[in-house]
Structure 1
Amino acid sequence: METEDEQMQDVLSRSERLERLPFTKKLGKLLGTSGVGWALDAMDVGLISFVVAALAEQWGLTDAERSWIISVGFIGMAIGATFGGLLADKIGRRSVFALTLLIYGLATGASALVGSVAVLLIFRFIVGLGLGAELPVASTLMSEFAPKNIRGRVIVWLEAFWALGWIAAALIGYFVVAGSDDGWRWGLLIGAVPALYALIIRLHTPESVRFLETQGKYDEAEGIVQDFEESAGPDYAYAGPTVQSAEDAERLAVPQPDKSETIWSRTMRKRTAALWTIWFAINFSYYGAFTWIPSLLTAQGFSLIKSFEFTLIITLAQLPGYFVAAYLIERIGRRSTLAIFLAGSALAAVLYGQAAADWQIIGAGMMLSFFNLGAWGALYAIGPELYPTTVRGTGTGAAAGFGRIASIITPLLVPVFLSLGGNVLVFTIFSIAFAIAAGAAFFLPEQRGKAIL
């Protein structure tokens, strides 16, 4: 019979048992379920840029009205991201994920029925609340299930669903929004799909094992871990002792998250400040560029359909950006991958600002898509790894919420920048923001191959 000392040598926490697993069918199903929710988010964010371009022609919107339609959603996203992360640490990742999909899906569908800018602004704010909360919560949930050796890659794969959603938005914009005077209404009705998908999320997505343990729900946590181990095959079956209480964890020397940590505690403040800087800068440039590109193209003399066509082609370059980032993030690390893609985004922004001919606009736009979305994938992989379970949702949500402040400001500033210096000034400013974010990446700790608590 084993002594307690021998038993302690064999014991693995549930988190460690998840960390040692390969990529399984069970994990793939979770990635797909979460990814579809992520894609639906992107579809909604992308769709509004096409809707605004169409409404500008139909309703004669001013630049200020167009900016506010875009920015009010980001005000909602800032609030949603901040409080969604806090809520996820209180009631669970899965519940918040499903709730946010329901909120923004219903609000998007309701937006299709509006007849004035004022009512549209109200619904876009509600949409933003759901969108802002969903993204950091989904990445947190996936990070807490993904094995440490492929965690970064898995989260970039999750983020790659964003490209699929944005491509779907571009297709809806091209074939539906531009197809008739009521096309923008039909486009927004399609955007209501997440309301239906929320039910699937609630029924078929497991709750985070790490979260369940912080709530003392050890039996439920154990059942989920065993399901994932069974999916990995008999070689990963675990027969050692299990932790059923805080006393068990202490007796068996199982590592537990530090409940005294906050995102601004002495050990966390440097990484939090760097993460917030990157989130602010990347939001500033990404949403300033991509929510305005269709309108900027029409302002340059391209027809609505032609500008949507260009945007669709540019959007396709997002996918290879994600694939390259997914490869590099486990080869050269999180910080280097993020910095490389942010630096590439800075260069691409300068080139886009100088572009005049069709081929220059498409080439520089595709380069911007490639590098910028690869950077987003690396950023979402890094965030949840920086914090312990007790504040992981709070940390990722707060950073996202702070970043959304930039996405609120930028669409309002773009018309001002355009009046002062045209596309050249606009994209030079975006380039500077990307460069600042690239420098801040080196102040983050490298978490490649490390377990999270």
Structure 2
Amino acid sequence: MDINVKTSQGSTGVIQPASAEAEGDTTSVAYRWKVLIASVMGYAMDGLDMLILSFVMAAIMSTFGLSLAEGGFVATVTLFGAVIGGYAFGIMADYYGRVKVFSLTILIFSVFTGLTAFASNLTELNIYRFLAGLGLGGEFGIGMTLVTETWPKEKRARVTGGVAIGWQLGVVLAAVVSAWVLPTYGWRAVFLVGALPALFAAWSRYGLAEPPIWVARNELRKRLKAKVKNNEPLTEEEMATYKETNKFPLLHLFANKRISTTTFGLTVMTSVQNMGYYGIMIWLPTILMQKHGLTLTKTSTWMIATVIGMMLGITVFGYIADKLGRRPAYISFQLMSAVCVWIYSGLSDPMHLLIGGAILGFFCNGMMAGYGALLSENYSTDARSTAENFIFNTGRAVGGLAPVLIGMLAAKYTLSGALALLAFIYIAAAINVYFLIPETKDKELIN
């Protein structure tokens, strides 16, 4: 049954699933695809901005005379802004609506990404990057929430996988923009051009209606608030619903022992996901050039092959998660990621490294397809966007430490050996899923 709700005519105002006959325009195929496209575009802007920074970092450091530490802090402050923005905008989307807040995040991103081009010193640069990060942080969770609340449950993992592919499209776009613009016009022009796709993303949201499940829940919340304000008596059921709908969204994630355990388990999953991604994408090119002597051109070819592998992995994972279940999909991909990372750290032949990179990307980042669905299915409409952004951005914050930790271990041992330790982290993640994460395949979204 499609994800849709209507409010019953009873006095309690309890939300019940809507029938197919009651479905309005917001359940049409055209509406669903518009929601999906808008969400894909939003997450593509996330990937575009984060990767543009890596491509132009050397030029920025040259312009402002920055040290490696100062240059690294520019990236860190962007990530810090994304984490804070993810928390804040996730909560706002549960209170004020997914589409409204989604549009606000893209506006903030586009304005401050553009202003980055006009930074005259390091302080201004960091301020603009932090503020752009705020907008970026809200994209993942709100976009995923929109998609899961509008598409049928039997396609949930596949469509959230489509949103996840948006990041990879942003990575490709960042590479293209940087290659074409940077040599001729400089890094400032790259940020100006990088802000333009955000305008298209904003346009894709124009006229988009809020998901019916959120609209019905919001109307119920307002109706009960009005009764309380007018001193009208509430039934026991209405009082329970009133308290539930007015609870601070973040508290829903820790409402009882079972939910708290699930929240912890999901946070571990997203942390490992981000540790693997940042660890692999930041350090493997260095390994290829330093240990194996690959040129920059060959390393770029490796990057392209790895990104293609990631996109294929996301597509396949979404299909498996919808057909076989979330737990089997995650456990199998996490165990295969452990095997692939371990084997890859010992490869030396250039062709093996190229093919292995694609396989590595297939399993390690293919899991991105399932997070939007899995997070949505474990929390109610009152806190769904909060859960998506809080859990994933907490994982992003933890995962952002991976490059530093791997660098520290590499200084004491070897870079390949340090990276191989990710294999044990993936095994721990699989154990975490087995014991802490419930199966939610074909589950109706919680009102």
Preserved contact between residue 19 and residue 451 of structure 1 (Cα < 8 Å): no
Confirm or deny that 1:426 pairs with 2:429: no
The 3 A distance-change label for structure 1 pair 32 and 418 is: same
Confirm or deny that 1:148 pairs with 2:153: yes
The 3 A distance-change label for structure 1 pair 262 and 31 is: same
Matches within 5 A, 1:22-421: 24-52=29-57, 62-114=67-119, 116-177=121-182, 179-180=183-184, 182-197=185-200, 199-216=202-219, 259=245, 262-266=252-256, 267-294=258-285, 297=288, 299=290, 302-421=294-413
Q: Report the Cα offset of residue 206 of structure 1.
A: 1.5
Q: Which runs of 5+ in 2 are unaligned?
A: 1-8, 223-232
Deviates more, 1:102-111 or 1:299-308: 299-308
| % identical equivalent positions | 28
Preserved contact between residue 298 and residue 307 of structure 1 (Cα < 8 Å): yes
Preserved contact between residue 85 and residue 136 of structure 1 (Cα < 8 Å): yes
Q: Deviations over 1:157-196 (max 9, x none)?
A: 222222222222233344444x45x443333222212542
Structure 2 equivalent of residue 229 of structure 1 = none
Equivalent pairs counted in the alignment come to: 413
The 3 A distance-change label for structure 1 pair 54 and 365 is: farther
Deviates more, 1:404-413 or 1:74-83: 404-413
Q: Report the Cα offset of residue 276 of structure 1.
A: 1.0
The 3 A distance-change label for structure 1 pair 127 and 426 is: farther
Give the Cα separation in 2 of the matches to 1:352 and 1:299. Answer: 15
Q: Which runs of 5+ in 1 are unaligned?
A: 1-6, 220-245
Give the Cα separation in 2 of the matches to 1:115 and 1:311. Answer: 32
Counterpart code for 1:205: L
Counterpart code for 1:423: L
The 3 A distance-change label for structure 1 pair 93 and 327 is: same
Preserved contact between residue 406 and residue 415 of structure 2 (Cα < 8 Å): no
Q: Report the Cα offset of residue 296 of structure 1.
A: 5.2
Give the Cα separation in 1 of the matches to 2:354 and 2:188. Answer: 28
TM-score normalised to the size of structure 2?
0.81
TM-score normalised to the size of structure 1?
0.80
Q: Deviations over 1:39-95 (max 9, x none)?
A: 222222222222235556887765433432332222112111111211111111111
Deviates more, 1:256-265 or 1:406-415: 256-265
Give the Cα separation in 2 of the matches to 1:19 and 1:274. Answer: 39
Give the Cα separation in 2 of the matches to 1:257 and 1:386. Answer: 19
Give the Cα separation in 2 of the matches to 1:158 and 1:14. Answer: 28
The 3 A distance-change label for structure 1 pair 90 and 431 is: same
Counterpart code for 2:321: I
Counterpart code for 2:439: E
Give the Cα separation in 2 of the matches to 1:352 and 1:59. Answer: 38
Structure 1 equivalent of residue 225 of structure 2 = none
SS in structure 1 of the partner of residue 33 of structure 2: helix
The 3 A distance-change label for structure 1 pair 398 and 218 is: closer
